[in-house]
């Protein structure tokens, strides 16, 4: 799973049908210390993660195809947890 911070969202009208109705949040992956780590990714979200909240993104397409309901979905990233706070041991 990827630790990331929500930094925006995206709107698209022409999209794959399985994306219909899903919020697309722009998430910036973070390192454990909280620095920016790589390119931002678009993850679908049904938990209602807010701006600048830290979230966990699952990159497992199989689990997501159950969430979306069909096997024929190209989606991969989904927000599965919103972090309250975390401490680096």
Partner 1 sequence: MKLALVIGRVVLNTLDPAYKGARFLLALPWKPGLPEGQLPKGNSFVVYDKLGASAGDLIGYSDGGEAAAPFAEPTPCDAYNCAIIDRILHQPPETAATPEPAVAARS
Residue numbers 11-30 binding partner 1 by CB under 8 A:
11-16, 18-19, 24, 26, 28
Between 56 and 77, CB nearer to partner 1: 77
User: Are β-strands 23-29 and 54-58 bridged in parallel, bridged antiparallel, or unpaired?
Assistant: unpaired
Taking alpha carbons only, the member of 80, 60, 64 closest to residue 72 is 64
Residues 34-73: x where in contact with partner 1 by CB under 8 A, - otherwise, as a string: -----xxxxx-------xx--------x--xx-----xxx
Neighbours of 45 (CB within 10 A): 21
Measured distance CA(16)–CA(51) in Å, rounded: 25
Residues that bind partner 1 (CB under 8 A): 5, 7-16, 18-19, 24, 26, 28, 39-43, 51-52, 61, 64-65, 71-77
């Amino acid at each position: 799973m990827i630790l990331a911070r929500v930094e925006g969202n995206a709107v698209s009208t022409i999209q794959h049908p399985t994306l219909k109705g899903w919020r697309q949040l722009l998430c910036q992956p973070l390192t454990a210390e909280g620095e920016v780590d790589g390119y931002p990714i678009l993850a679908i979200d049904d938990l209602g993660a807010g701006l600048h909240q830290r979230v966990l993104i699952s990159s497992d397409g199989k689990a997501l195809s159950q969430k979306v309901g069909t096997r024929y979905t190209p989606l991969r990233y989904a927000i599965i947890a919103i972090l309250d706070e975390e401490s680096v041991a």
